[in-house]
Structure 1
Amino acid sequence: MSLMSFLSAILFVLIVCCSTPFAVGDDEPSAYEVLQENNFPVGLLPRGVTGYEINKKTGDFSAFFNGSCSFSLENSYQLKYEPPIKGVISEDKLKNLKGVSVKVVFVWLEIVEVVRNGDKLQFSVGVASAGFPVENFVECPHCGCGMDCNKSSDFVSSF
């Protein structure tokens, strides 16, 4: 094996290993499966989580993306995810959230808590909250286009 072939092989291994810096082992659940283990639908997180960390004793978690992620849902709500997303997860409750915002009228408000109550999810921005059916979150939205990725006019932004 020539020196160039050897260096190329080493570079390839480094790129593959380092492209997912917070990857969890094969026997560990994905970030989406952790949501499901706590009775939440996978659609609370957009596609593209590159890794996560969780303290199973305290519920502290962080989810990582390659960059900011924003999109519109049903042409009425704009959501923005700023990595890393952090919070505390437990059965039916996500609290102390950081990194997830919703645009209300002309103002971005941080979603600080999500509580599941039966077939409803209650999203809180601190002073106000809104409820939505769990069935609205069975699919993960895509950064840039949300759930309607076939229409380029719905493209918001993906960094």
Structure 2
Amino acid sequence: MDKALTKLGSTWISKKAKAEISHITDDLSSLSNTVEEKAKLFINKLKGKTQKALPDLLREYNIPPGLFPRNITCYEFDASKGKLIVYLSSPCEVCFKDSSIVRYANRVKGTLSKGKLSVTDGMKTKVLVWVKVTSVAVESYKSDKVWFTTTGVKKSRPKDAYEMPRDAIKVEEF
């Protein structure tokens, strides 16, 4: 009986230890990414390169400025290729004014062009179940709709729901 209890106890402790080590590893990875990105921003500032706020960049490309949460860590934008990478401290989700929910990974990648963020990776939305967002588009400056394209489905949502960046809620997994 003692052997069985000892074995059961050691198995339980082992599982708990593995879970805690996994959490610590994730936290260290997130910290490392944050430090790396902050270092890049610092170096760019030393070089005299200043970066506009992400909402201003999105507005310039006719994308609603509140598409990404307020609490992003930083972002990179290569204007020559249109490559946009947005960094967040952890996976998170935002509930917008129209009750739509968008979930973000630690890093969201996409190609930014006038009125469209395409080839996205790291973004999901809830349509009965969580589905990957492949692009976000606004047809024209006068349009009052934002089109979210998911795997095979195109869904319109009111543009004004994405006008202001909102705070995100941390989630355990993307």
Deviation at 1:59, TM superposition (A): 0.2
TM-score (norm 2): 0.66
Q: Are 2:118 and 1:100 aligned?
A: no
Q: What RMSD, in angstroms, separates the aligned Cα atoms of the two structures?
A: 2.3
Q: 2:65 matched to which residue of 1?
A: 42
Q: Which residue of 2 aligns with 1:20?
A: 38
Q: Gapped runs of 5+ residues in structure 1?
A: 1-16, 145-156
**Aligned: 1:82 with 2:105:** yes
Paired amino acid for 2:104: Y
User: In the aligned structure 1, how far is the partner of 2:136 from the partner of 2:74?
Assistant: 21
Name 1:132's counterpart in structure 2: 157
Q: Which residue of 1 aligns with 2:135?
A: 113
Deviation at 1:58, TM superposition (A): 1.0
Give me the whole-angstrom Cα distance separating, in 2, the residues matched to 1:130 and 1:22.
36
- In the TM superposition, what is the alpha-carbon distance from 1:104 to its structure 2 partner? 1.9
User: Per the alignment, in what secondary structure is the counterpart of residue 20 of structure 1?
Assistant: helix
SS of 1:32's partner is helix
Tell me, in whole angstroms, the C-alpha distance in 2 between the residues paired with 1:125 and 1:43.
19
CA deviation vs aligned residue, 1:47-72 (integer Å, no higher than 9, x gap) = 11111111111101100011111133
- The letter of the residue matching 1:35 is L
**Matched-pair identity in %:** 23
Q: Distance in 2 between matches of 1:103 and 1:65?
A: 20
Letter aligned with residue 125 of structure 2 = V
Q: Do 2:96 and 2:161's aligned partners in 1 also have CA atoms closer than 8 Å?
A: no
Q: Contact conserved, 1:43 with 1:140, CA < 8 A, in 2? A: yes
Normalized per residue, the structure richer in helix is 2
> TM-score, normalized by length of structure 1?
0.72
**Deviation (angstroms), 1:46:** 0.6
Aligned to 2:27: none
**Structure 1 residue 22, shift from structure 2 partner:** 4.5
What one-letter code is carried by the residue in structure 1 that aligns with 2:90? G
Kindly provide the amino acid, as one letter, of the partner of residue 67 in structure 2. Answer: L
Residue 107 of structure 2 aligns to a residue in which SS? strand
SS at match of 1:88: strand
Structure 2 CA distance for partners of 1:138 and 1:56, relative to 1, 3 Å: same
Specify the SS of the correspondent of 1:135: helix
Judging changes above 3 Å, is the alpha-carbon distance between structure 1 residues 22 and 143 closer, same or farther for their aligned structure 2 residues?
A: farther
> CA, structure 1 residues 74+42, in 2 after alignment: closer, same or farther (shift >3 Å)?
closer
